[in-house]
Structure 1
Amino acid sequence: MKTLGLLGGMSAESTAIYYRELNRLVRERVGGLHSADLLIWSVDFAPIAALQAEGDWDETGRILADGARRLELAGAQAIVLCTNTMHLNAPMISGAVSVPFLHIGDATAQALKARGVSRPLLLATRFTMEQNFYKDRLIAAGLEPLTPDEADRARLHAIIYDELCQGVVRPESKAEALAMVAKGRAAGADGVIFGCTEVGMLLSQDDLDVPAVDTTLVHCEAAIEFALA
């Protein structure tokens, strides 16, 4: 089994899900007392979030590239960045190491296509919904991602940072997110991307009448496929 290097802490809530799911997948696929061979570099999210708000993506990239280098030096055979938004820095991170960087966008696109989705509604932070680093990767895979309107993007961003990243899950916020999905369905969306690693804390496939891809879960599946190959 290959050793995976998890670059996490953004947020700690979603990184805990990565840890749980990676070990669950290994247990299911290998059996017995087996668990994932992992190294974790977990950052303090508050300084990262402040840099995000300032738009200082060069500095976030330097911080995360340094974390990736530390993971590689410790023995990681691949880097798994446990966040969607910070894949904005994927080129800086992957360029800092010689081991593979397992991109969450690739796992997401593959899962969407396997489910027959072509026009997914992207639910994520404002950074992911409004900048092109993520949507362009989906478009390159032949998908046509949709996003909520401006007011809903702002509200969803607040739900993620003010609630989910702090471990708070409110039924009222779930109802708001489901209303966003309904608008997206009316606009032609035939699937939903839980495009922030915390959104799966709020919504599940059981809440929806179209296919949903939880990026955290499919990223974990891709990582374990690599580790066990």
Structure 2
Amino acid sequence: MKTIGVIGGMSWESSAEYYRLLNRYAKARRGGHHNAPSLMVTVDFAPVEANQRAGDWHALGVQMADAAQQLERGGADIVLLATNTMHRVYEAIEAAIAVPFLHIADPTGEALRAAGIERVGLLGTRYTMEQSFYAGRLRDRFGLDTLIPDDEGRAQVHRIIYDELCHGIIESPSRQIYQNVIEDLKARGAQAVILGCTEITLLIRQEDSVLPVFDTTALHVQHAVDWAIEAVS
């Protein structure tokens, strides 16, 4: 099995989930005492979050590219970025390394198309929901029509991510807010919902949603493990 490199720390709560799922899925695929050979570079989220708020995506691209190069030098055969929002700078990462970079939206887009979904709700940070880097990729590569919550819904979804989930705080009232947002997306025609922030999986499971849930974290991990196994077969 090839070695999976992960850029983590944004937040470390979701990075821990990545590590758990990588090894759980590798064990499910390979059995016995197997786990996923992996490397992780964990960045400090505080300056990352500050640069996000300032809109300094160039600086963030430089930082993510440097982290990817560290992984490549350490022996990673493929690189994952354990966050949806920071895929805003995926081009800087791809340009910096020779090994493959797995974009988080692609396994999700493939899974949605395989399920026959054409219109999907997207939950994530404001950056992911409001900027074009994510929904645009889903549209251009997979022909998906993406719906996002209204202004108040986006504000609530974003606040809960940064003020609660990134700190490992899981609150029932926040789950209800997300459920209300998902119900509104369904009423507007969404056939499914993307958990488009890696922390949302800590709060929302399939049983919490009136729509089919597509968890970007789980789909990203599964695709990476499948690649790492099949690349040596």
TM-score (norm 2): 0.97
* TM-fit CA distance, 1:114: 1.9
Aligned twin of 1:222 = 223
Aligned twin of 2:27 = 27
* TM-fit CA distance, 1:111: 1.2
Cα offsets for 1:114-172 (capped at 9, x unmatched): 22221110000000000000000110111001000011111110000000000001000
The answer (yes or no) to whether the contact 1:115–1:211 under 8 Å persists in 2 is no
- State the distance in 2 between where 1:26 and 1:114 align: 23
1:61 aligns to 2:55 (yes or no):
no
- State the distance in 2 between where 1:148 and 1:76 align: 37
TM-score (norm 1): 0.99
Aligned twin of 1:203 = 204
The equivalences for 1:1-229 within 5 A come to 1-140=1-140, 141-229=142-230
The alignment partner of 2:41 has SS state of strand
Structure 1 stretches of 4+ with a deviation exceeding 6 A read none
The answer (yes or no) to whether the contact 2:198–2:217 under 8 Å persists in 1 is yes
Tell me which amino acid in the other structure corresponds to 2:82. C
The alignment partner of 1:33 has SS state of coil
The answer (yes or no) to whether the contact 2:182–2:211 under 8 Å persists in 1 is no
- State the distance in 1 between where 2:170 and 2:56 align: 29
Tell me which amino acid in the other structure corresponds to 1:14. S
Tell me which amino acid in the other structure corresponds to 2:47. P
The alignment partner of 2:40 has SS state of strand
Gaps in structure 1 of 5+ consecutive residues: none
The answer (yes or no) to whether the contact 2:69–2:97 under 8 Å persists in 1 is yes
User: Aligned residues: percent identity?
Assistant: 48
Gaps in structure 2 of 5+ consecutive residues: none
